Structure 1
Amino acid sequence: MAFQQGLSGLNATSKNLSVIGNNIANANTYGSKASRAEFADMYANAMNGSGGSAIGIGVNLTGVTQRFSQGNITTTESGLDLAINGNGFFQLDAAGTTVYSRNGQFTLDKEGNLTNSSGQKLLGYAANPDGIIIPSTVQALQLPTAGVAPNATSQVALEFNLDSRVAGPSAALTFDPADPNTYNNATSVTVYDAKGQELALTSYFRKSDTVVDTWDIYLTANGMPMPADGSPAVAAMTFAADGGSMTAPVGTIPLVIDAGVPLTAGGTSLQIDFDLDLAGATQYGAAFSVTDLSQDGYAPGQLTGVSIDKTGVIKAQYSNGQSKSAGQLVLATFRNPQGLQPLGGNAWSSSFASGDPIVGAAGQGNFGLLQSGALEESNVDLTAELVNMITAQRAYQANAQSIKTEDQVLQTLVNLR
């Protein structure tokens, strides 16, 4: 009797249509992966063996597998949207259970956690207060909400060229920062005390000896002179014959800006201990020019935004121009992604068939790279799914026709007289 074959065909084709319909329904779901129904034929066991005359008894659904091929990546306007270009999965904390997803639509909750629309928290490595990522325990990533504390200047580096062709001021004129005739050149850089208060550190250069190419350097903080060892000049710079390097001083010059220097906006500054580095100074036959001014202090700042690079490092950006790492999200891969158990909500869980997750940072191995401000689209081929749906529909009609034909045969047998 062919009823069983036709009935199994209807059942299998119905499930195939359900799989195709689910693919079509999720064609616009970010991070979704297309599924495929897989079938196998069935044969009855016979006592005397089936031999070459065995007739199958229908079809059976053996499984529904997902295709984890890469979906197209589309850009968005949110910097917290993430797309994986590779084989990795996001790790998410779902009420204490780790689940895995390819959907990178994340937002910040009120506690600073990166979460998806289901409230699942993105997992990764945390960073210490100095912004150093500690690759140890994987935990929920929580972005800082407080600002960054100020940092007092500890080193100032000046890179400049002094014109070897000029003559120094008259020896009868003592240095006076208010009188340009008492020095040759000047440049200024902003430094910070322990409170993050700004002071203008100005360097004045005065040629003191033409024969041996010696220059005196004077410093003021917010216009107040900085004497050193009772002398107004903090150092005497002597250059080599070719002007390409200094012969003195050697190394950095330790200096102190005394506490109590008046600030521009009122109040007074704290003491600043710093080293002055002049190793980049030259004396060539060219006009005075400053090529680099740097110092390592900064004012306090408030959090203004976050960004995520292609390796998953989360950078916190502050109003004072500083940035530091706030963590690094960690991806997972599996030896057999087909063995992952779908949970719905764009998430999967690991299983015995998938194997244990292999955890690592983006950019390593086959985890892939991250793209911020982008999302991975579903890998469903809508055109192919519509064609498959038409084919499945015809198969359903054919199986129904086989049952109808068997019914007519049976009716003919019953009506024999």
Structure 2
Amino acid sequence: MVLHASSPRQKSAIDQVETYGAHNYAPLPVVIARAEGARVTDVDGREFIDCLAAYSAVNFGHSNERLLAAATEQLHKVTLTSRAFYSEPYGPFVQALAELCGKDMVLPMNTGVEAVETGIKTARKWGYEVKGVADDQANIIVMDGNFHGRTVTVVSFSNDPDARRSFEPFTRGFRSVPFGDPAALEAAIDENTVAVLLEPIQGEAGVIVPPEGYLRQVREITTRHNVLMIADEIQAGLGRSGTTFACDREDVVPDVYLLGKALGGGIVPLSGVVANSDILGVFQPGQHGSTFGGNPLACAIGSEVVSLLREGTMQSASRDKGARFRAALDPLVDRGLLTQVRGAGLWLGLDVDPALGTAHDICHRLMDKGILAKDTHTKTIRFAPPLVISDEDLDRVIDLTTEALEEAAARPAA
């Protein structure tokens, strides 16, 4: 429900959405008209610091000049051919992304959840045709608290009742185990297990970072049991966690990378499944596809995204600014304003003391101060600003977040 809007113009825009748009989101009452770098401007000309970055899709900043230049050049050439034909930007993109991942092959799609669905199909097909699992018996192990999207198959193994309620019957073939518990993972594996699917850091769950060494243990267990390790790096990867991939934090290389969000530079949807040819090579013509998957416009942008990541400056910015951000917010736990701060790189989850109100309440206070952040699971505020955020803006976010929490402590929400 929209609580308020700051002007008639903004109210009109919000009312139009609420009247004609399906109510599958509950956005904060701000209507964004323009954006650049880490700042966005609403229809009234008020400026905000973006601390969500479209759930990591805008890692490299709004209106990134290099990405806009790549998009503009390609817009004047060809934007869509479908995979019925070859296109000039396709080959350079899949080669660049494969090399970035240290793999042989890329299967491009559009949205992140399409990459997850493709990863599931890949694991099952590999299980039947390569591992030799009996027909219709393949199972995939997932993690409690996971978020991989909202298609019927993906919500089939979600723990979120809002994502599952009234969408039955569900797709079978999944087993869920506690995130961060290698013993539970190994105990769930049997002769029909084809893959372990996990987020290296659980974003929607509240930026949950697993215990040190967990990813290495998952890698060892899956290798020993001849089970694919599939890393959903859609939110956690491409610089967000301070490394190119979140798995890099433990020097782990999964069998399959699932990528999306920032891969399209915040301009177009672009996702991909990246693996070696002994895995992705199971697909033959007609067995999987997408009209828009690997379109020329997306590939041109994706190639420039890979070029940015090869330079390493985005990853180092994420590490340095994230460490600064974390150091400034950690003391708020001792002050009783937060109960916990978690994070990796420039990606933090702040658990709000319930006595101060909900995380949603605090996000409204932040919005009123010119900071846009998003709550999850009632108690947690996620901070994921574009990696290009300036030191000045980061300091402002720190100061205003502290101020908002202090005000909430003095005047708790009703």
- Could you tell me the TM-score, scaled by structure 2's length? 0.21
**Greater helix content:** 2
- Could you tell me the TM-score, scaled by structure 1's length? 0.20
Higher Rg of the two aligned structures = 1
**Greater strand content:** 1
